[in-house]
Amino acid sequence: MTQHRIAVAARKGGVGKTTVACGLASVLASQGQRVLVVDLDPQSNAAYVLGVDPTAPGTAELLSGASPQPQEAAPSLYVLPGGPNLSGHNIQALDPEDLADVVAPLAYDALVFDCPPGIEHLERLGVVAADVALVCTNAHPLALVGARRVLNELKQRQQKGRRGAQRWAVVLTMIDLRRSMDQALDKQVAESYPTIKRLTVHQDTAISWAGAERVPIMQYEPNSKGAKDLQAIVEWMLNG
């Protein structure tokens, strides 16, 4: 039985969400946990970044009743690719709780759902299947708007007593404190959401190169600044 189910979401693209999802999975696997990344993105970026075949059968086939074989990206780290079949009418017609139901019997210590930007019904499948949600934003104004929409949905589901993540945090991504907008981001989020935990992943070339070379970050550069940021997020998820 899966002990941890984590959704990583950002309504806007290009904020480093997939990097965070894959990085957290790499950290968890390095700690000896058996981890499955469920790629909900029609672009299959998580599968690509983790170095497996992004065109192989994956999440769409699982949601359609098949039993696709997860691909091994590293010891204890497995991936179900996304892909264009996630845009099909049969997937769009799913109940928001269907993903939660189909992953329930999977034998992993942790599931990481990489939710796509701008496709709300796929994002909803992920956050409903999760018990923890991480909402990513960088200092771009539209990224903050997207994060606000995800946070509002999480809050509404909780208030209505619906299935889904009951604990969440905002992850400030791609942070470079030499930039004034990045310096102001933490204060801005703190003022808007004073009771929500804020976590940070700094801009780090090691993370960028790991993605470019399609190697999980804990195998590429485990002592990099970005890897340590991701380890701190895992610490909050498990013990915070």
pLDDT at 118: 85
Average pLDDT over residues 220-240: 94
Please write the tens of the pLDDT for every residue from 86-119: 999 999 999 999 999 999 999 999 999 999 998 9
Torsion on CA atoms 79, 82, 86, 91, rounded to nearest 10: 10
Query: Residue 141: enclosing H or E segment and its boundaries?
Result: helix 141-159
**Could you tell me which residues are beta bridge partners of residue 154?**
none
Contacts of 219 (CB under 8 A, 6+ apart): 26, 74
Q: pTM for this structure?
A: 0.96
Q: How confident is the model at residue 2 (pLDDT cuts 50, 70, 90)?
A: low
pLDDT at 32: 96
Q: How confident is the model at residue 239 (pLDDT cuts 50, 70, 90)?
A: confident
Please write the tens of the pLDDT for every residue from 21-44: 999 999 999 999 999 999 999 999
**Could you tell me which residues are beta bridge partners of residue 175?**
202
pLDDT at 1: 61
Q: Is the torsion defined by CA of 2, 172, 154, 54 positive or negative?
A: negative
Average pLDDT over residues 75-87: 97
Convert 160-196 to b/e letters by CB count within 10 Å (16 or more is b). Answer: eeeebbeebbbbbbbbeeeeeebeebbeebeeebeee
pLDDT(63) > 70: yes
- Residue 211 three-state SS: helix
**Residue 219: Cβ-neighbour burial (10 angstroms; 0-12, 13-18, 19+):** middle
The span from the CA of 198 to the CA of 224, in Å, is: 20
The span from the CA of 54 to the CA of 72, in Å, is: 12
pLDDT at 3: 86
pLDDT at 229: 97
Q: Which residue has the tokens 């999760």?
A: 130
CB 115 within 8 Å of CB 7: yes
